[in-house]
């Protein structure tokens, strides 16, 4: 019997750069009433290949089905999904606070170094602090900064790499390149 | 330097390069440049003018499934495109290769809510295998090549190309290159030798193997391979609705149709076998009944080309991802020949019960009202099982599926997965256009025929010789049956007051005949089949006829109703 436990999964999707794919991919989730907790997209080092990383929650069966339906889209190259222990992941948070009140803090440096955070911009009106980490960590810093009055707070979607030494998508692409050459012979 | 041509010319030339000989369509404002250019290609590509865009796509579906090649649809933007959406969804569920080309407003007007603008790409994305908006004339050849490659390879399906008006009139160089490769798309997977051997070993060890097959067999052209496989292993088999006619009805190991209104034997055998091998089918809920009691005792081998179907409903012991024809041939080579004389007689008891309780009363009632199954049986007799049988959706469909007989493959056309009423009449038109030499007989109810009745005009204009057999019971019979069985006989909105269909047919110059009495049926069928002309046979059948046997919703496939108050045991 398959595991019906509901878990958090990170879905790594590699696609050709095609317009409209993002909405097709999110449709696959909504049709199966899977929530998308976070989503981030960007180019990979491989030319023309894009990555979309989605965090969702569901049973393994449901998430696998969604992954297979996504991989079935013609312009999707490969889809992988992982539980948290199979990946290294981070998210990025930006905090905007009043410079004047921030400077009133006794131990700015101690606070920032404790959280591994850094200042990315400071002017007379406001200061922007950047932190990477897990949601709980960015949240903890938020709680510490809150007394200074947070003017704006933004958290990115998760990005992740698998704990496998090599990303299997590139192996697949090499295989396809060979198939293409075979065809052109 | 080659002479430049318009995007519209590029479209027609690309279609010719792809071997297209027929297009089903309907013109309108934003596709007029393409229609204008057709005048110059009309000798190479026949255009069938339908009376509603839904008719165009169902006709193209019928064409595609008879020919085994993509059906092509040409419509205008906005309402033209939205009217084909039902057919696109139908083709997606039933794996039918279709290429739809819809006009679109000029690219500069996109997103402005221009006249007859609809977001066709957004609307059709979840129900197409691929879709694309052509905004420049240079893209036409590439998009058409890719569309046909995607539509027909792997698990076939519909593709929509949304063609902006400026791209239709713009000029381009043209050189056609067929598509043979898409990096991210692997349509020809092949299972490892090890997996094939594992499956062969399971079958060698099996005492009671049973095979269920679907349309994948027809699509991959694996009819011969399936028959050889079954014969070598002495393995009995049942067909899904869409798999019908892949094996001839008289094939010794063929046990009939599986599923809700299928035959008793193949359903019972599914739950008695020790190894179940599924070929080119997807365990639809109308096939499995309650999944938790479906083939629980059996080890399952599943052959399908679509990876996402493997393990979607039933978790197989061995999943063989590949083309049915290739995988069956390999499996047959690896498998030991076997005789299983006891197991291959296991169906006899089921068959005799079904014959006595269901089939005989339906097909040979002797007196009383004409029965639907009886009509289907007489048509099978009159056509020698050689006709293409097309159905609409509902009781007519189930009766046609149950009582038709098939001598060759690609002889049964029906909307299976989506269950689209209104599919039958235009699909029959498409089937007849695809193969004018074959008799095409449509079974349709008085509900479904009125959903696409306007296609009588298409039949008239193009002289398409389809034989329409209307099983007329003055009800939406299938819903009525459910109301009787499961909704305390509260007949909500299922009674239909019918027009005089003979008068409608005669308005379109289509000969017709009404049959109310058993004694007139065979004569009327002879009259209908005596010419190549279209014909409407309005058969008044028993009003409260029921399709039996029935596995009611929520029941397992071993829980079979034989009549309203008797269950198979």
pLDDT tens per residue, range B35-93: 999 999 999 999 999 999 999 999 999 999 999 999 999 999 999 999 999 999 999 99
Identify the band that residue A104 occupies on the pLDDT scale cut at 50, 70 and 90: confident
CB atoms within 10 A of CB A129: 24
pLDDT, residue A165, reads 83
Beta-bridge mates of residue B320: B303
Q: What number is the average pLDDT over the span B342-349?
A: 96
- Judging contacts by C-beta atoms under 8 Å, the chain A residues touching residue B186 are 176
Task: Give the percent of chain B with pLDDT over 90.
Answer: 99
Task: Locate the DSSP E strands across B267-347.
Answer: 275-279, 299-304, 318-321
Q: State phi, psi for A133 to the nearest 5 degrees.
A: 155, -160
pLDDT, residue A8, reads 96
The beta-carbon neighbor of B184 closest among A20, A65, A76 is A76
Q: How far is B306 from chain A (nearest CA, A)?
A: 8
Among positive and negative, which fits the CA dihedral B216, B220, B226, B227?
Answer: positive
ipTM of the modeled complex = 0.90
Q: What number is the average pLDDT over the span B271-289?
A: 98
- Judging contacts by C-beta atoms under 8 Å, the chain B residues touching residue A63 are none
Cβ contact B441:B73 at 8 Å: no
Q: What number is the average pLDDT over the span B295-306?
A: 98
Spatial separation of the C-alpha atoms in residues B162 and B541, rounded to whole Å: 45
Q: How far is A24 from chain B (nearest CA, A)?
A: 7
The beta-carbon neighbor of A74 closest among B121, B129, B307 is B129
Q: What's chain A's Rg over C-alpha atoms?
A: 20
What residue of B is the nearest CA neighbor of A76? B184
- What distances in angstroms separate CA B323 from CA B188, B240, B248, B264, one per listed residue? 7, 18, 21, 29
What's this model's pTM, rounded to 2 decimal places?
0.95
Say whether residue B292 is in contact with chain A using an 8 A CB cutoff.
no
Statement: residue B536 has pLDDT above 90: yes
Q: State phi, psi for B303 to the nearest 5 degrees.
A: -105, 120
Best mutation target among A74, A173, A179 (most B Cβ atoms within 10 Å) is A74
The beta-carbon neighbor of A176 closest among B121, B150, B183 is B183
Task: Give the percent of chain B with pLDDT over 70.
Answer: 100
pLDDT, residue B130, reads 97
- The CB-based long-range contact list for A45-50 (8 Å cut-off, 24+ gap) reads A46/A169, A46/A170, A46/A173, A48/A16, A48/A17, A49/A14, A49/A15, A49/A16, A49/A17, A49/A77, A49/A169, A49/A173, A50/A14, A50/A15, A50/A16, A50/A17
Spatial separation of the C-alpha atoms in residues A80 and A87, rounded to whole Å: 11
Structure confidence by residue, pLDDT tens digits, B373-404: 999 999 999 999 999 999 999 999 999 999 99
Identify the band that residue B1 occupies on the pLDDT scale cut at 50, 70 and 90: low
pLDDT, residue A3, reads 61
Structure confidence by residue, pLDDT tens digits, B163-179: 999 999 999 999 999 99
pLDDT, residue A108, reads 84
At residue B213, the 3 state secondary structure works out as strand
Q: How far is B129 from chain A (nearest CA, A)?
A: 7
Which stretches of B22-175 are DSSP H helices?
A: 32-38, 53-67, 79-82, 85-93, 120-124, 140-152, 165-169
Spatial separation of the C-alpha atoms in residues B413 and B93, rounded to whole Å: 14
Beta-bridge mates of residue A57: A8
pLDDT, residue A2, reads 52
Q: What number is the average pLDDT over the span B267-281?
A: 98
Q: Which residue has the tokens 């199979």?
A: A86
CB atoms within 10 A of CB B497: 6
Task: Give the percent of chain A with pLDDT over 90.
Answer: 77
Residue B534 CB contacts under 8 Å (≥ 6 apart), including other chains: B459, B460, B463, B464, B465, B466, B467, B468, B510, B511
Best mutation target among B132, B139, B145, B308 (most A Cβ atoms within 10 Å) is B308
Identify the band that residue A106 occupies on the pLDDT scale cut at 50, 70 and 90: confident
Residue B407 CB contacts under 8 Å (≥ 6 apart), including other chains: B248, B249, B384, B385, B386
The beta-carbon neighbor of B150 closest among A24, A68, A74 is A74
CB A23 to CB B122 under 8 A? yes
At residue B376, the 3 state secondary structure works out as helix
Identify the band that residue A1 occupies on the pLDDT scale cut at 50, 70 and 90: very low
What residue of B is the nearest CA neighbor of A74? B185
Spatial separation of the C-alpha atoms in residues B522 and B530, rounded to whole Å: 12
What residue of A is the nearest CA neighbor of B119? A20
- Judging contacts by C-beta atoms under 8 Å, the chain B residues touching residue A69 are 308
Question: Is B193 buried (19+), middle (13-18) or exposed (0-12) by CB count in 10 A?
Answer: exposed
Q: What number is the average pLDDT over the span A43-51?
A: 90
* Contacting A residues, span 47-76, partner chain B, CB-CB under 8 Å: 64-65, 68-69, 71-72, 74-76
- Judging contacts by C-beta atoms under 8 Å, the chain A residues touching residue B184 are 15-16, 74-77, 176
Residue A171 CB contacts under 8 Å (≥ 6 apart), including other chains: none
Spatial separation of the C-alpha atoms in residues B89 and B141, rounded to whole Å: 25
Cβ contact B58:B26 at 8 Å: no
CB A74 to CB B125 under 8 A? no
Statement: residue B2 has pLDDT above 80: no
């Amino acid at each position: 019997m398959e595991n019906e436990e509901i878990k958090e999964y990170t879905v790594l999707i590699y696609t050709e750069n095609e317009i409209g794919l993002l909405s097709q991919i999110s449709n696959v989730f909504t049709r199966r009433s899977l929530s998308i907790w976070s989503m981030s997209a960007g180019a990979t080092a491989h030319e023309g290949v894009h990555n979309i990383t989605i965090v969702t929650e569901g049973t393994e069966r449901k998430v696998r089905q969604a992954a297979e339906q996504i991989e079935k889209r013609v312009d999707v190259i490969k889809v992988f999904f992982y539980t948290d222990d199979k990946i290294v992941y981070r998210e990025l948070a930006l905090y905007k606070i009043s410079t004047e009140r921030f400077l009133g803090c006794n131990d700015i440096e101690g606070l920032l170094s404790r959280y591994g955070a850094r200042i990315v911009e400071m002017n007379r009106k406001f200061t922007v602090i950047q932190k990477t980490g897990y949601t709980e960590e960015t949240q903890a810093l938020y709680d510490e900064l809150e007394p200074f009055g947070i003017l704006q707070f933004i958290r990115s979607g998760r990005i992740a790499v698998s704990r496998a030494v090599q990303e299997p998508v590139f192996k697949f692409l090499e295989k396809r390149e060979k198939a293409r050459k075979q065809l052109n012979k | 330097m080659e002479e430049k041509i318009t995007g519209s010319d590029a479209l027609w030339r690309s279609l010719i390069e792809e071997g297209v000989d027929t297009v089903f369509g309907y013109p309108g404002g934003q596709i007029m440049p393409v229609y204008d250019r057709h005048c110059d290609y009309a000798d190479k590509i026949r255009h069938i003018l339908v009376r509603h865009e839904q008719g165009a796509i169902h006709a193209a579906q019928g064409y595609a499934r008879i020919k085994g090649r993509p059906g092509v649809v040409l419509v205008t933007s906005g309402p033209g495109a939205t009217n084909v959406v039902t057919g696109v969804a139908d083709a997606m569920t039933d794996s039918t290769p279709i290429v739809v080309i819809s006009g679109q407003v000029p690219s500069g007007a996109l997103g402005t809510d221009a006249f007859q603008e609809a977001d066709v790409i957004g609307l059709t994305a979840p129900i197409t295998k691929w879709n694309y908006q052509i905004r420049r004339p240079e893209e036409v050849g590439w998009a058409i090549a890719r569309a046909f490659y995607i539509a027909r390879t792997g698990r076939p399906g519909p593709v929509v190309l949304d063609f902006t008006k400026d791209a239709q009139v713009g000029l381009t160089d043209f050189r056609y290159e067929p598509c043979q490769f898409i990096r991210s798309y692997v349509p020809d997977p092949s299972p490892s030798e090890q997996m094939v051997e594992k499956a062969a070993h399971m079958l060698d060890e099996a005492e009671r193997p049973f095979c269920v097959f679907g349309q994948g067999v027809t699509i991959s052209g694996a009819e011969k391979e399936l028959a050889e496989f079954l014969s070598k292993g002495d393995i009995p088999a049942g067909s899904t609705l869409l798999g019908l006619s892949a094996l001839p009805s008289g094939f010794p190991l063929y046990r009939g149709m599986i599923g809700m209104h299928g035959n008793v034997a193949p359903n019972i055998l599914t739950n008695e076998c020790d190894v179940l091998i599924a070929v080119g089918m997807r365990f639809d809920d109308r096939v499995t009944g309650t999944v938790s009691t479906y083939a629980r005792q059996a080890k399952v081998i599943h052959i399908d080309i679509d990876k996402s179907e493997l393990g979607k409903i039933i978790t197989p012991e061995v999943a063989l991802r590949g083309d049915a024809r290739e995988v069956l041939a390999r499996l047959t080579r690896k498998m030991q020949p076997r005789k299983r004389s006891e197991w291959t007689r296991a169906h006899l008891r089921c068959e005799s019960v079904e014959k006595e309780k269901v089939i005989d009363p339906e097909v040979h009632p002797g007196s009383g009202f004409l029965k639907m199954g009886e009509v289907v049986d007489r048509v099978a007799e009159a056509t020698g099982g050689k006709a293409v049988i097309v159905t609409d959706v509902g009781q007519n469909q189930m009766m046609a599926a149950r009582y038709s007989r098939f001598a060759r493959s690609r002889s049964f056309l029906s909307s299976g997965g989506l269950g689209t009423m209104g599919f039958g009449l235009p699909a029959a038109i498409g089937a007849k256009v695809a193969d004018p030499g074959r008799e095409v007989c449509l079974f349709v109810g008085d509900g479904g025929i009125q959903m696409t009745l306007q296609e009588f005009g298409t039949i008239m204009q193009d002289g398409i010789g389809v034989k329409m057999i209307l099983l007329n019971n003055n009800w939406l019979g299938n819903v009525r049956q459910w109301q009787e069985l499961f909704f305390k006989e509260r007949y909500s909105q299922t009674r239909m007051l019918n027009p005089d269909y003979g008068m409608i047919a005669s308005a379109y110059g289509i000969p017709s005949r009404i049959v109310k009495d058993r004694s007139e049926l065979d004569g009327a069928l002879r009259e209908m089949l005596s010419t190549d002309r279209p014909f409407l046979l309005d058969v008044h059948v028993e009003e409260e006829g029921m399709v039996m046997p029935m596995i009611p919703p929520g029941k397992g496939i071993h829980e079979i109703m034989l009549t309203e108050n008797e269950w198979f045991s």
